[in-house]
């Protein structure tokens, strides 16, 4: 349970809030690379940390993220014409470059007026099949992200994203709560093409009272969860959380590893990023097809990344499949099983009213780390934030069988360390 001030601190990310300033120190994923495929392609709206922005790729191929609204009289530049190294407002023809600098005001040519007009802008970079934004002070811009998937050729990975109608934190909290898998996703583990067939699934299904052991990691936490296995062993699933909003699902068999970013769009909406990657091989055509079809952690969405299953159609809930147990909650798809329940908690979950138990330890510790870091940063802008250094990002999830007397953090140390060419440890 949290006090109201603590809930506010954790969930508010507009400019000037402590958590908003923390988020502004990291590269955040905003676009899948193919959203801006070629020079002068259509611009794309980006809402992130409560700011409405417009992304475009100019004639020379440069990426820009600028204020969505024209400095003249506030028209959305999404309607603009992307032409000759700039985006031109279709209302009266004011034109801006990728840095937000106004380069032409047709009614005031030759007066120097346009030089005084500049829209807010942030740098974008492309790596790992993702376009990332940095929204903090320019002198504190960190090096490019080095999460393992971003260091691999893009043939090893697949990205999707979906708008989720709730605050970022309750979406993140689902990502580190391994205990719900034995319930909510139980029907899907052996049906979904990106989950089925793994030996680990049987431990998830046979032991519904997992024990959590959460340990510190340089960039955040390792959320270790053990279930009973045969021969005096435990089946461990270890989920890394890297500050502020990156989580990795432990693998199953030789399936690709799933991961997520939970990026605030505003305080009531987040962009749930789902990614799959395999550290040592390219994805197969069959895997890609399954991901595109909404299997695994992916979801079918419309052109604006809104899921086809949503609150207004009751997420296409099927009571018959719920009753028979084919789908534990009656909702199809692992991603929508999570989203439907998390959205039902309200736009911002009221954490003053919850009753937490031992399986919520990962959530409790994540909140503590976030609050501590946001306060430390507010008191000292030089505070070394966890998750910024490359080595903090070089982590992996793992699923391992270990003797019961072994501590996972030591015994699975190598499995949790990302390294080029090293197979991941999975059951």
* Nearest by Cα to 26 from 260, 244, 267, 259: 244
- The residue within the footprint of Fe ion, chosen from 51, 58, 192, 338 (CB under 5 A), is 338
Residue 86 or 210: the one with the smaller Cβ distance to ligand FES is 86
Instruction: State the nearest-atom distance from the C-beta of 81 to ligand FES, in Å.
Output: 11
Considering only residues 136 through 175, tell me which ones interact with ligand FES, judged by CB under 6 A.
none
- Partner from ligand FES, Fe ion, none contacting 360, C-beta within 5 to 8 A by type: none
Cβ within 8 Å of residue 344, ≥6 positions away: none
The CA-CA-CA angle for residues 217, 171, 149, to 5°, reads 55
- Partner from ligand FES, Fe ion, none contacting 142, C-beta within 5 to 8 A by type: none
Residue 25 CA to residue 385 CA, distance in Å, equals 8
Instruction: State the nearest-atom distance from the C-beta of 376 to Fe ion, in Å.
Output: 30
Q: Per-residue string for binding with Fe ion, 175-214, x by CB under 5 A?
A: ----------------------------------------
- The residue within the footprint of ligand FES, chosen from 73, 306, 404, 422 (CB under 6 A), is 73
* Nearest by Cα to 157 from 191, 175, 130: 130
Residue 68 or 338: the one with the smaller Cβ distance to Fe ion is 338
Instruction: State the nearest-atom distance from the C-beta of 14 to ligand FES, in Å.
Output: 25
Segment near Fe ion (CB under 5 A); pick from 164-172, 335-343, 362-370, 407-415 = 335-343
Residue 32 or 70: the one with the smaller Cβ distance to ligand FES is 70
Residue 181 or 265: the one with the smaller Cβ distance to Fe ion is 181
Segment near ligand FES (CB under 6 A); pick from 65-73, 118-126, 304-312, 418-426 = 65-73
Q: Give me the residue whose beta carbon is nearest to Fe ion.
A: 338
Instruction: State the nearest-atom distance from the C-beta of 124 to ligand FES, in Å.
Output: 23
Residue 75 or 341: the one with the smaller Cβ distance to ligand FES is 75
* Nearest by Cα to 296 from 336, 265, 245, 324: 336
Segment near ligand FES (CB under 6 A); pick from 57-65, 66-74, 172-180, 184-192 = 66-74
Instruction: State the nearest-atom distance from the C-beta of 97 to ligand FES, in Å.
Output: 15
- Partner from ligand FES, Fe ion, none contacting 338, C-beta within 5 to 8 A by type: Fe ion
Answer yes or no whether residue 70 interacts with ligand FES by CB under 6 A: yes
Residues touching ligand FES, count (CB under 6 A): 9
Residue 148 or 338: the one with the smaller Cβ distance to Fe ion is 338
Q: First-to-last CA distance in the chain?
A: 35
Residue 377 CA to residue 425 CA, distance in Å, equals 36
* Nearest by Cα to 175 from 256, 270, 291, 97: 270
Considering only residues 75 through 134, tell me which ones interact with ligand FES, judged by CB under 6 A.
75, 89, 91-94
Residue 81 or 99: the one with the smaller Cβ distance to ligand FES is 81
- Number of helices (H), then strands (E), in the chain: 12, 19
Residues touching Fe ion, count (CB under 5 A): 1
Answer yes or no whether residue 66 interacts with ligand FES by CB under 6 A: no
Segment near Fe ion (CB under 5 A); pick from 9-17, 107-115, 252-260, 334-342 = 334-342
Q: What residues line the site for ligand FES (CB under 6 A)?
A: 70, 72-73, 75, 89, 91-94
């Amino acid at each position: 349970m949290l006090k109201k001030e603590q809930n506010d601190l954790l969930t508010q990310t507009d400019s000037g809030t402590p958590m908003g300033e923390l988020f502004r120190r990291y590269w955040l994923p905003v676009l899948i690379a193919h959203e801006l495929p070629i020079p002068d392609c259509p611009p794309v709206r980006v809402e992130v940390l409560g700011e409405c922005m417009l992304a475009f790729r100019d004639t020379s191929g440069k990426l820009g993220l600028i204020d969505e609204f024209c400095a003249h009289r506030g028209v959305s530049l999404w309607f603009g014409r992307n032409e000759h190294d700039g985006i031109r407002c279709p209302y009266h023809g004011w034109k801006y470059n990728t840095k937000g600098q106004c380069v032409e005001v047709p009614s005031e040519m030759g007066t120097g007026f346009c030089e005084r007009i500049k829209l807010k802008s942030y740098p974008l970079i492309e790596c790992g099949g993702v376009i990332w934004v940095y929204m903090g002070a320019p002198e504190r811009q960190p090096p490019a992200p080095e999460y393992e998937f971003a260091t691999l050729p893009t043939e090893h990975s697949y990205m999707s994203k979906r708008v989720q109608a709730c605050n970022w934190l309750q979406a993140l909290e689902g990502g580190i709560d391994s205990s719900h898998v034995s319930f909510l996703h139980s029907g899907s583990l052996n049906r979904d093409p990106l989950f089925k067939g793994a030996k680990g699934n049987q431990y998830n299904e046979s032991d519904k009272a997992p024990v959590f052991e959460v340990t510190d990691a340089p960039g955040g936490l390792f959320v270790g969860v053990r279930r009973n296995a045969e021969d005096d062993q435990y089946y461990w699933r270890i989920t890394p959380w890297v500050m502020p909003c990156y989580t990795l699902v432990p693998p199953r068999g030789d399936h690709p590893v799933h991961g997520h970013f939970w990026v605030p769009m505003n305080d009531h909406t987040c962009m749930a990023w789902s990614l799959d990657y395999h550290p040592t091989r390219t994805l197969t055509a069959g895997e890609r097809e399954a991901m595109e079809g909404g299997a695994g952690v992916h979801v079918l969405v419309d052109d604006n990344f809104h899921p086809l299953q949503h609150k207004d159609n009751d997420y296409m809930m099927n009571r018959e499949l719920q009753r028979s147990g084919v789908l534990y909650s009656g909702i199809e798809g692992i991603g929508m099983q999570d989203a439907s329940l998390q959205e039902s908690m309200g736009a911002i979950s009221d954490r003053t009213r919850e009753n937490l138990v031992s399986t919520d330890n990962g959530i409790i510790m994540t909140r503590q780390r976030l609050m501590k870091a946001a306060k430390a940063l507010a008191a000292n802008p030089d505070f070394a934030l966890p998750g910024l250094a490359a080595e903090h990002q070089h982590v992996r999830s793992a699923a391992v069988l270990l003797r019961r007397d072994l501590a996972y953090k030591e015994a699975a140390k190598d499995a949790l360390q990302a390294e080029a060419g090293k197979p991941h440890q999975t059951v």
